[in-house]
Structure 1
Amino acid sequence: MRKLLSLGIAGALIASSLVVAVTPATAASGRLVSVTALRTYPTWGDVDAALAADKFDPGTDRFGVRTYRLVYRTTDATGKPTTASGLVALPINGWRWLRTVSFGHGTEIFKGDAPSTSDDIFVIGPALTFASAGFAAVAPDYVGLGVGPGPHPWMDVPSETTASLDLLRAARDFTRTQGKQLTRDVYASGFSQGASTALGLARALQSGADPWFRAAAVAPISGAYDFRRAEIPALFTSEVHPVLASAYTSYLLVAFDRLHDIYPTPGYVFRKPYVGLAGLFDGNHTGEEVLGALPATIDDLLTPQGKALLLHPTGRFAEALAEADSVCTNWTPRMPVRLYYSPGDEQAVNANTDHCHTALAARGVRAPTVDLGVNTAYNGFVHEGSEVLGVPAATRWFAELSK
C-alpha cells in the first residue's frame, strides 16, 4: 500500500498517447478492446537509469523496453462481463518467441496508481525488469483499477486470477501484431496482494484453464496468504504499523461487504465518525485522501462488533476468507515454487509465509522460503523494500529456469 504513504512519481523517458485500433471486441474473455502505446526505453541503459533511480537493482537488464496499456474483456467478481486494463512490456530485441512473466501488483486504492495508468517506477518497475531481461511482462491492473469500471474487489483471488489469465490471452493476440509470439511457459510472480494473485494464476493454469499457457514456476513475494490465522490477528498487535492496520482493516471490511454482505450497516463495524469510509474506497480517491480520513489505530476505528467479526469470522465472511487463503492450501503445485520474504515485514507479517510453506509441505510440495534481507528505502518500511529486493531475485531465478 505504498500509495497511502508516498506520491513520488518517477517520469519515463519517452511517452506516447497513440491509440492502436484493434478488432472490435466481443464478450469473449481475453478479447482485446484497445491498445495504447505508453513509453519507450530505447536501450538497456535507459531501463537501468529508470530502475536505479527508484532503488531497483538493474543488474538483469539486457534490452530496451516498450510498454503498452491493453484494455480487454474479462468478468468481474460476480461473473458478469466487464473490461479491465493491464500493462504489457516487451523487450526491444530480435527474438520472435518470448516466455512470459505475469506480475501481480500490491495493494492500491486509486485507479490511477495501477500499472497501466501510473508513471511510478515502484509500480511499473517489475514489468520493466522482467522485460529488459528478455521476457514478455504482463501486469494486470485487476478489476476496478486502471481504466476498468467500478470499484476494486480487494483480495478477491478469483477475479484477480481471471483478470490475470485474460490479460495473458489479450497479450498473446497483441504480441502477434508486433512480430512476436508468446511461448506456452508463464512464470508467475507478484508482490503483497499480488503474491496471492500469482499463486491463484499458477493454480488455474495447472488445472488447464487455458489450452495454450502453462505455469512454468511461481515466485510470490511478501504475500498475505493466511488472512484468518496470520494477518488479521497481527493487525491487533505491534507487528503491523498502526496506521496501516487501520487502512488494511478498512479496505478489507468495505471490499468484502460489497461482495459478500458481511455486516448489516457500516455503523455495525465502524465507530463514528468513520461510518462513511466506504465512499472513499471507490477507486477515485487518492491514498492521501484515504489515509487522512482514517484514525491512527485500529481500536479507534472499530466497534466491539467489528473487532469480533474480524477475530471470529463466521458465515459468508469466514467463507470468503477461506477462499482468499486457499492459494496455499487446496492444491498441489507441480511447478517450482519459491516464497520470497523480508524479515520483520510490518504489513504482510512473516507468519503468512511460514503458514504457506507449512501448508504446501503438508501436500508434499518443496517450496523453500527465501530470505531477501531488509531494505527500508521506501519510507522506512520493510514491506515495500521486499518488492525492490524480490523482483530482481525472481528475475534471476526465472532466467535460470528458462535456459
Structure 2
Amino acid sequence: MMRHTRIIVGILAGALAAGAVAVAAPAAGETRESGRIVAVQPLRSLTTKEDVARELTAAEFKVDEVRYGVDTYQLVYRTVDPAGRPTIASGLVALPRGGARELRVVSYTHGTEINRTDAPSMWRDGWAVAPALTYASAGFAAVAPDYLGMGIGPGPHPYLDVPSETTAALDLLRAAREFTAGKGRALERKVLVTGFSQGGTAATGLARALATGADGWFRLGALSPIAGPYDGRRQVLPVLASMPPPFNTGYTAYLLVSYNRLHHIYDKPSDVFEKEGVEEVFDGVHTGEELAETLGGSVDDLLTPRGKALIDNPTGPFAAALAVHDGTCTGWTPRAPVRLVVSGGDEQIVVGNATACRASFAASGVDVPVVDAGDLVYNDSKHLGANVMGTADTVKWFKTL
C-alpha cells in the first residue's frame, strides 16, 4: 500500500494544485461535466520499445511484453468530490506509438501514497508510471488516475474512499476517450481493469460501476486486481500493529484521519492519537520521512485507548464506512473474466483478503480464481513486489482475452 519513504519537494505539489484550481475550478452545478478535459500536459515520449525497456528495467519492472514506444500525457479533468460537488482531478494517459487505431484500454489504480507528487501523472519516479508503461508498450491505452487530492487536484486525499476512487477513475476514462479521439484514435468499450493495493479495491469498485451501467459507453471487459485490501475490517485492521514501520503507524493514522474528514469518527485528534501533529502530516505535501518522524514506530504509542478501541472493534460511522470499502466484491455479478492476483508472501495484504472477495463472488454464482504471481522482494517488501509480479502476470493475461 505505501512505499518506503523518500525525499519529495512538496512545495511543488502545492503550487501546482493551487495553480490548477485558479485556472480551472469548476462552477457550481457542473456535475454533468464530469469527465470533460480541463487541460492536457504532454509528459515524456519514449520513442522506441528499447526506451521503454530501459525505463521499466530501471524501475525493476518486467519487460517481457514491451512491443512499442509510448507517449505519455497528464490530463486534468472535471469530476466530483465525496459530497458530489464539482472539482478537478488529474491522471496519466499512456498511448502506444503504433499498433491498432482502436485501442483496448487498461485502467490501473495505484497504491497508497501520501505526497501528491508521487501520483502517476507527476512522474516523480519509475515506480509510479511503470504499470502504465507496461500496458501501453504492450499495445493497450493505459489510464491511471491520481485520485482526488493527489497530482494536480485540490486536496486532501480521501484515502480508501471507494466511491470517490470510482468516480475519479471513471471520469478519467471519459476524459481519455475524448483525448484519444483528438489524436485520431479510439478506445474500445470494454475496459480491462486492474490496480494494486489501495488500487485493488479502487479497481473492484470501478469494475462494479462499469458492470452495472454507470457509463453510457464503457463496459467491464475484465478484472485483475493485485493485492487489494478487500476485507479491511477482518484481514487488515487486525494485523496493522504487527506490520513493520512506517507501514503500521502510517496506514493506521491515514485511515483514521481520512475517515474522520469524511465521516466524523472523532471530535479532536487527541481523542484517538497520543502524538501531536498527526492530521497535518496527511496534507498531500508532507513526505514519508516526515510521516515516520511524526508517527513513530509503534501503533501502541500512536493511539489512545479510544483509538485502539476503534481499530480493534470498529463501531458507528467508522464501521459503516469500512463496510462500504469492504463491499466492492458483493452486490453484483461479474459477466466478464475475473481473477484476483496475490503474492503468497505478502507481509501487508494477506491472501485472506482475496479469498474473502472470492467467497463474495461465489455467493453470486461466479467462481473467481485466486492467482499467486509469486514472491518478489522490492525495496525490502514482498507487498511492493506483488505489484511488479502482478503487473507482469496481468498484462500477459489481458493479451489472451
TM (norm. structure 1) is 0.92
1:321-373 superposed Cα distances (whole Å, 9 cap, x missing partner): 00000011222222111111111211222221121122222221111011111
**RMSD in angstroms over aligned alpha carbons?**
1.9
1:195 aligns with 2:196: no
Question: SS of the counterpart of 2:327?
Answer: helix
Q: 1:5, 1:379 within 8 Å by CA — same for their partners in 2?
A: no
Residue of 89, 93, 99 corresponding to 2:94? 89
Q: 1:243, 1:298 within 8 Å by CA — same for their partners in 2?
A: no
Provide structure 1 residue ranges, at least 5 long, that are not aligned to the other structure.
Answer: 10-18
Tell me what 2:46 maps to: 41
1:259 aligns with 2:292: no
1:308 aligns with 2:281: no
Tell me what 1:371 maps to: 372
Report the CA distance shift for 1:342/1:317 in structure 2 as closer, same or farther (over 3 A): same
In the alignment of these two chains, the number of paired residues is 385
Tell me what 1:348 maps to: 349
How far is 1:234 from its partner? 1.3
Given residue 225 of structure 1, which amino acid in structure 2 is its aligned partner? Y
Report the CA distance shift for 1:192/1:94 in structure 2 as closer, same or farther (over 3 A): closer
Question: SS of the counterpart of 2:207?
Answer: helix
Residue of 113, 117, 123 corresponding to 1:118? 123
Question: SS of the counterpart of 1:318?
Answer: helix
How many angstroms apart in 2 are the aligned matches of 1:198 and 1:232? 20
Given residue 223 of structure 2, which amino acid in structure 1 is its aligned partner? V
How far is 1:225 from its partner? 0.7
How far is 1:242 from its partner? 4.3
How many angstroms apart in 2 are the aligned matches of 1:62 and 1:24? 39
Question: SS of the counterpart of 1:74?
Answer: strand
Counterpart mapping for 1:53-64 below 5 A: 53-64=58-69
How many angstroms apart in 1 are the aligned matches of 2:246 and 2:288? 13
Report the CA distance shift for 1:7/1:95 in structure 2 as closer, same or farther (over 3 A): farther
Q: 2:7, 2:287 within 8 Å by CA — same for their partners in 1?
A: no
How many angstroms apart in 1 are the aligned matches of 2:361 and 2:212? 17
Provide structure 2 residue ranges, at least 5 long, that are not aligned to the other structure.
Answer: 10-19
Question: SS of the counterpart of 1:259?
Answer: helix
1:176 aligns with 2:177: no
How many angstroms apart in 2 are the aligned matches of 1:325 and 1:55? 31
Q: 2:91, 2:120 within 8 Å by CA — same for their partners in 1?
A: yes
Residue of 140, 149, 163 corresponding to 2:154? 149
How many angstroms apart in 2 are the aligned matches of 1:388 and 1:8? 23
Taking only the aligned residue pairs, the percentage that are identical comes to 54
How far is 1:7 from its partner? 5.3
Given residue 108 of structure 1, which amino acid in structure 2 is its aligned partner? E
Report the CA distance shift for 1:247/1:2 in structure 2 as closer, same or farther (over 3 A): closer
Tell me what 1:241 maps to: 244
How far is 1:304 from its partner? 1.0
Tell me what 1:299 maps to: 300
Question: SS of the counterpart of 1:220?
Answer: coil
Question: SS of the counterpart of 1:151?
Answer: coil
Tell me what 1:337 maps to: 338
How far is 1:297 from its partner? 1.1
TM (norm. structure 2) is 0.93
How many angstroms apart in 2 are the aligned matches of 1:289 and 1:247? 11
Which has the larger displacement, 386-395 or 287-296? Answer: 287-296
1:32-69 superposed Cα distances (whole Å, 9 cap, x missing partner): 00000000000111101110122111000100000000
